[in-house]
């Protein structure tokens, strides 16, 4: 069996974006099917989903971001990094920033999802146990954790913007 030479070997670092996007859509859709099962739905409704409280963290926040950022946005990032050099005729400003775009976004998204799911369950159980003080204490712990992990995820987006912007700027400066 003859294998075709890889047309754009420099783009192999985009494979991880494609795998991560597919993986997140799997997790996001399993989450979607899970949260609609009657006993789970009843539990989520009893802790405030989708309107507020701990339930809101699980549905829709964790579900929406796993599918939208993990599934869709990372695919858009890979497609942009693949198409831009071919459209502009210049190489990406930095392949190192491709690496940073992926890992800050991926680690941020997995941390964001895990934080929302963990605190959603913990605070939800405290709510159902009638321990409102305990739930509030837990939520005070949630705030710095979600703020930190959201910033990590945000860095991935901002590095992506800078690398795309610098590449387009470079393409307009080329002789």
Closest distance to ligand HEM from the beta carbon of 36 (Å): 15
Q: Which residue is nearest to ligand HEM (CB)?
A: 150
CB 126 within 8 A of CB 138: yes
CB 48 within 8 A of CB 54: yes
Closest distance to ligand HEM from the beta carbon of 28 (Å): 12
In whole angstroms, give the CA distance from residue 26 to residue 90.
35
Closest distance to ligand HEM from the beta carbon of 37 (Å): 20
CB 92 within 8 A of CB 42: no
Footprint of ligand HEM (CB under 6 A): 60-61, 64-65, 68-69, 73, 150, 153-154, 157
Nearer Cβ to ligand HEM, position 73 or 159?
Answer: 73
Give burial (CB, 10 Å; 0-12/13-18/19+) of 132.
exposed
Nearer Cβ to ligand HEM, position 90 or 122?
Answer: 122
Closest distance to ligand HEM from the beta carbon of 150 (Å): 3
| Residue corresponding to tokens 């991880």 | 16
């Amino acid at each position: 069996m003859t294998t075709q030479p890889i047309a754009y070997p420099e783009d192999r670092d985009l494979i991880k974006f494609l795998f991560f996007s597919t993986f997140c859509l799997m997790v996001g859709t399993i989450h979607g099917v899970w949260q609609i099962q009657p006993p789970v739905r009843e539990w989520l409704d009893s802790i405030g989903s989708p309107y507020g409280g701990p339930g809101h963290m699980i549905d829709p926040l964790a579900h929406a971001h796993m599918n939208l950022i993990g599934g869709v946005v990372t695919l858009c990032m890979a497609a942009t990094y693949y198409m831009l050099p071919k459209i502009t005729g210049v190489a990406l400003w930095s392949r190192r920033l491709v690496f940073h775009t992926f890992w800050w976004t991926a680690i941020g998204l997995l941390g964001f999802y895990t934080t929302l799911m963990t605190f959603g369950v913990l605070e939800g159980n405290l709510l159902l146990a009638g321990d409102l003080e305990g739930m509030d204490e837990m939520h005070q712990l949630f705030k710095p954790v979600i703020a930190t992990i959201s910033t990590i995820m945000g860095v991935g987006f901002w590095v992506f913007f800078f690398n795309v912007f610098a590449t387009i700027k470079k393409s307009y400066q080329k002789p």
